[in-house]
């Protein structure tokens, strides 16, 4: 299990931000969001969010990964693939988990 402590959480359902909470992740899914101090002994990994905000992944329902990298028609296929992979990585780092 993973504990992310000292986090603010925007859940996408409520307009208010839950502040200074603990997020418990079990089997790669959010298992619980709890307030107050927790013992860290039961967790494999403990991450201090330092007051940063967690939120659900964003979805881009219309994107062209290969052309989103601004490659024009003259590029070789392997160059387009490399740029497409970089574009996908950059999107993930911006919070898009589904495209």
pLDDT, tens digit only, all 99 positions of the chain: 999 999 999 988 888 999 999 999 999 999 999 999 999 999 999 999 999 999 988 999 998 887 655 556 677 888 888 888 998 999 999 999 998
Alpha-carbon distance of 65 to 52, in angstroms, equals 29
Look at the pTM and tell me if it is higher than 0.85.
no
Residue 87 CB-density burial (10 A; 0-12 exposed, 13-18 middle, 19+ buried): buried
CA dihedral (89, 92, 96, 99) positive or negative: positive
């Amino acid at each position: 299990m993973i504990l992310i402590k000292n986090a603010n959480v925007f859940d996408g359902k409520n307009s208010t931000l839950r502040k200074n909470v603990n997020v418990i992740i079990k089997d790669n899914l959010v298992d619980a969001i709890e307030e107050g101090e927790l013992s860290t002994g039961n967790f494999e990994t403990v991450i201090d969010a330092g007051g940063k905000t967690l939120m659900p992944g964003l979805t881009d329902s219309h994107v062209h990964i290969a052309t989103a990298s601004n490659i024009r028609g003259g590029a070789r296929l392997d160059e387009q693939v490399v740029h497409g992979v970089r574009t996908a990585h950059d999107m993930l780092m911006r919070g898009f988990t589904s495209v």
